[in-house]
């Protein structure tokens, strides 16, 4: 077999097509870094607004988890504060009742 | 303002070095397909090839100073080197895998089901044999034969002399001939270089 025929066989090697969104994926993956670079050049209000918008639009699992955790802790703290307050009220009411009812009073 | 799409790769790279994301985006759209094919030929896996190309482009974006325009190299030649190194690192970290994607895909240019199956098998066989070549032989073959780079450019990318590259290429091809013959892809009288063996 000559080189030409052999080369023809080697050329039969196929490459499966890439996924159509690969370019988009690469550009998207580079965006946060690119925007940070732009922000570092000028801290304009619009740049800050875009950065905030980005955090809302792009999925950021770590940030979401942290926010959920903070929210949960705040909610837990608030609800335990409420139950403590209601306990205090109940205790106060008890003592108040105890003060008003003296020893030997007819119940 | 000049249209980015009309700019040369080297001008776009100069802009990328000034954090011009538009210029980066043009380069990505211009070359992703080309370098995906190159990466696939290095690793033989579709997902890995996509990751390699993505990592190479992100490296370019995050550290654009690695491009040195004063050296006078073409962007594509230089980026082949980036992708090749990325692929080598990737493959060394990963265990050698079976050639899965090649079995799943074949260009549908055949007339009958039988022809398609034969073409599929042949393509997968070639892929397996090429992937089994020693790393440097495989890179030399990919760059010169499949990417159709000049020996000089391929040698530059691999960081070897032209003579060394030619030697790698010759050993790769003779090794392939022998292995394909052994596997029955080449006919009995097709074994032109019967004495060929694999060399590291």
Tokens 């055949």 sit on residue = B110
Q: Is B80 domain-assigned? A: yes
Closest to A37 in 3D by CA, of B103, B64, B74, B43 = B64
Q: Is B198 domain-assigned? A: no
Radius of gyration (C-alpha) of chain B in whole angstroms = 19
DSSP string for residues in B154-197: HHHHHTS-HHHHHHHHHHHHHHHHHHHHHTTSS-GGG-TTTT--
Q: Is the pLDDT of residue A83 over 80?
A: no
pLDDT reported for residue A105: 62
pLDDT reported for residue B24: 96
Per-residue pLDDT tens, chain B, 200 aa: give them: 678 888 999 999 999 999 999 999 999 999 999 999 999 999 989 999 999 999 999 999 999 999 988 888 899 999 999 999 999 999 888 765 544 444 444 455 545 666 667 777 778 888 889 999 999 999 999 999 999 999 999 999 999 999 999 999 999 999 999 998 888 777 655 444 444 333 33
Q: Is B30 domain-assigned? A: yes
Which residues on B lie below 8 Å from A16 (Cβ)? 40, 46, 101-102, 104-105
CA distance A29 to chain B (A): 8
Cβ distance A30 to B41 less than 8 Å, yes or no, reads: no
Q: Is B16 domain-assigned? A: yes
Q: Which two tokens stand for residue A89?
A: 């009220």
Q: Is B185 domain-assigned? A: no
Query: Residue B53 belongs to what domain range?
Result: 1-97
Q: How far apart are the first and last CA of chain B?
A: 53
Q: Which of A25, A27, A41 sits opposite B25 (nearest CB)?
A: A27
A7 interface with B at CB cutoff 8 Å: yes
Q: Is B67 domain-assigned? A: yes
Domain count, chain B: 1
Instruction: Provide the Cα torsion A87, A92, A94, A99; round to 10°.
Output: 170
CATH number at residue B28: 1.10.1740.10
Closest to B137 in 3D by CA, of B112, B174, B110 = B174
pLDDT reported for residue B194: 43
A62 interface with B at CB cutoff 8 Å: no
CA distance B21 to chain A (A): 6
In this structure, how many other beta carbons lie within 10 angstroms of the beta carbon of residue B178?
A: 20
CA distance B168 to chain A (A): 16
b/e per residue B9-35 (b: at least 16 CB within 10 A): beebbbbbeebbbebbbbbbeebbeeb
CA distance B102 to chain A (A): 7
A21 interface with B at CB cutoff 8 Å: no
From the candidates B46, B119, B128, which should be mutated to test the interface with A, based on the most A CB atoms within 10 A?
B46
Whole-complex ipTM: 0.76
Cβ distance B102 to A25 less than 8 Å, yes or no, reads: no
Q: Where along chain A do its domains lie?
A: 1-58, 60-107
Q: Is B146 domain-assigned? A: no
pLDDT reported for residue B104: 47
CA B131 to chain centre: 11
**Element housing B103 (H / E):** helix B101-104
Q: Is B187 domain-assigned? A: no
Q: Which two tokens stand for residue B194?
A: 């019967």
**DSSP label at residue B1:** -
């Amino acid at each position: 077999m000559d080189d030409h025929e052999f080369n023809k066989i080697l050329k039969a090697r196929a490459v499966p097509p890439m996924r159509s969104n690969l370019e988009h994926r690469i550009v998207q993956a580079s965006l946060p870094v690119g925007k940070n670079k732009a922000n570092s050049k000028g801290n304009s209000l619009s740049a800050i607004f875009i950065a905030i918008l980005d955090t809302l639009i792009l999925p950021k699992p770590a940030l979401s988890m942290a926010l959920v955790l903070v929210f949960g802790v705040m909610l837990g703290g608030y609800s335990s504060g409420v139950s403590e307050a209601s306990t205090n009220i109940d205790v106060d009411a008890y003592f108040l009742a105890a003060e008003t009812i003296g020893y030997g009073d007819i119940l | 303002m000049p249209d980015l799409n009309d700019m040369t790769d080297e001008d776009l790279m100069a802009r990328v070095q000034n954090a011009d994301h538009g210029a980066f985006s043009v380069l990505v759209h211009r070359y992703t397909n080309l370098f995906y094919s190159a990466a696939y030929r290095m690793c033989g896996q579709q997902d890995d090839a996509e990751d390699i190309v993505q990592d190479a482009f992100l490296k370019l974006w995050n550290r654009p100073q690695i491009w040195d325009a004063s050296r006078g190299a073409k962007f594509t030649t230089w980026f082949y080197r980036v992708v090749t190194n990325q692929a080598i690192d990737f493959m060394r970290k990963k265990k050698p895998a079976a050639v899965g994607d090649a079995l799943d895909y074949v260009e549908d240019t055949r007339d009958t089901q039988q022809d398609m199956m034969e073409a599929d098998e042949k393509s997968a066989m070639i892929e397996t044999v090429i992937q089994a070549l020693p790393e440097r032989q495989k890179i030399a073959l990919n760059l010169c034969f499949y990417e159709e780079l000049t020996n000089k450019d391929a040698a530059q990318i691999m960081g070897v002399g032209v003579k060394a590259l030619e030697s790698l290429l010759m050993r790769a091809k003779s090794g392939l001939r022998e292995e394909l013959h052994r596997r029955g892809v080449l006919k009995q009288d097709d074994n032109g270089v019967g004495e060929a063996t694999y060399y590291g």
